[in-house]
Every structure is written in C-alpha cells, then in structure tokens.
C-alpha cells in the first residue's frame, strides 16, 4: 500500500518435490510459446527476488472461516527473536491463539516458524475488508489477560518479552487478479 512496489507471493506446498522449475508447468498449461513469453516478461520486469520457506503451525494459526472471497488486505508481522527465543515464542503464540479464539473469534491469521532462508517467524493477519482497520482489535497482551487472568496472562506476556527482539508490520493490498486459488 505504501513504500517500494513489492509483490509477495505465498505458495503452500505439501512436498519439497513441488518446488520445480515453473516453465515446464507454464508450457503444459499455456503452450511453449506463451511460457517463453511469460518467462521473458518476468526477466524484464523483476528487479530482484528473495525466497524464504516457513513451516505453518496450526497451534499458532486461525485460518479464515466464512470469508466471502479473498481478503482485501494483509498485515505481515515479521518477528526477530532473541537468541534461544523460539520455544518461548511458540508457547506464547499458541496461548495467544487460544485467547484469540475465545475473545476475538473473527480474527483470522496464519503463523509460521522460519525454515530455509527465513529470518524469523511471521504472522499474516487477513483483513476481509480494508475498512476492518477502522475498528482496531483488542491487542494480544490484553486478550491473554482477559482469557487467562492477570497472573497467567502476565506470565505469558513475559514470554513475549523474553522471545521477541523486534517486529515489523507491513500492510499489503491483495491482488485477486494475480492469484490462483485451487478448489479445495
């Protein structure tokens, strides 16, 4: 929405074998000539790429239920962890997920831990409508205290302080015209 013109593509794969050269798949779908044209377009228009692999954790995620189509916007939260902070981050995120289900049941996000090339954990918050930002949700630290009580909520919030060195939030608009959503 602001800043550099960046496109982020997320692909869910079930196997490492799914990550092969896209050109044969493009040729199979569109024909050799169109696949070659698309390859040239990509080379001419993309300044740089970066690939990172993440492992999604269902205990930390609330995939969308009942959305009327693709979300209009996404907020990417990229976390930098303190050395050795991954176990605390996992525990805290799992507890935030439990509290969110109880306190803000219409909040949808996918959280993942880093794998190859990924600098740290990330959470992608899905916004069905951009106007959802007009009514901010209860922040996770308050959700934890409301759901677990003051003592346990404070303990879990302390895990975040131990685990997280910093985080960055970036707002992105989605481009349904550039997406392929397979039928489930």
- E-strand stretches of the chain: 54-56, 73-81, 108-114, 122-127, 164-173
What number is the average pLDDT over the span 136-156? 96
Residue 2 predicted with pLDDT over 60? no
Residue 178 predicted with pLDDT over 60? yes
Residue 62 · residue 111 · CB < 8 Å: no
What distance in Å separates the CA atoms of residue 168 and residue 149, rounded to the nearest whole number? 28
Cα–Cα distances (Å) from 182 to 7, 12, 34, 85, 129, in that order, read 20, 11, 22, 36, 22
Q: What is the DSSP string of 18-68?
A: G---HHHHHHHHH-HHHHHHHHHHHHHH--------EEE-GGG-B---S-S
What is the predicted pLDDT for the residue at 31?
84
Q: Which of 12-26, 87-101, 167-181 has the highest mean pLDDT?
A: 87-101
pLDDT-derived band at 52, boundaries 50, 70, 90: confident
Residue 89 · residue 78 · CB < 8 Å: no
pLDDT-derived band at 116, boundaries 50, 70, 90: confident
Residue 27 predicted with pLDDT over 80? no
pLDDT-derived band at 10, boundaries 50, 70, 90: low
Check residues 1 and 41 and name the one with the higher pLDDT.
41
What fold, for 54-173?
Alpha-Beta Plaits (3.30.70)
Check residues 183 and 143 and name the one with the higher pLDDT.
143
Residue 76 predicted with pLDDT over 80? yes
Exposed / middle / buried, residue 117 (Cβ in 10 Å: 0-12, 13-18, 19+): exposed
Q: Which of 13-22, 43-52, 158-167 is predicted least confidently?
A: 13-22
Check residues 180 and 166 and name the one with the higher pLDDT.
166
What is the predicted pLDDT for the residue at 24?
67
């Amino acid at each position: 929405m602001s800043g550099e013109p960046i496109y982020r593509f997320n692909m869910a794969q079930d196997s490492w074998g799914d990550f092969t050269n896209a050109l044969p798949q493009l040729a199979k779908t569109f024909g050799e000539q169109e696949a070659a044209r698309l390859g040239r377009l990509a080379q001419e228009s993309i300044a740089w790429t970066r690939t990172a692999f993440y492992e999604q954790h269902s205990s930390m995620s609330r995939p969308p239920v009942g959305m009327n189509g693709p979300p209009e916007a996404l907020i990417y939260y990229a976390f930098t962890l303190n050395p050795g902070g991954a176990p605390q981050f996992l525990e805290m995120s799992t507890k935030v997920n439990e509290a969110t289900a109880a306190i803000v049941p219409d909040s949808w996000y996918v959280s993942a831990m880093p794998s190859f090339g990924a600098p740290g954990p990330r959470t992608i918050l899905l916004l069905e409508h951009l106007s959802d930002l007009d009514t901010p949700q209860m922040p996770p630290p308050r959700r934890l205290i409301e759901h677990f009580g003051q003592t346990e909520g404070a303990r879990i919030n302390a895990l975040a302080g131990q685990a997280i060195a910093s985080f960055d939030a970036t707002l992105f608009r989605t481009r349904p015209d550039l997406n392929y959503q397979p039928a489930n």
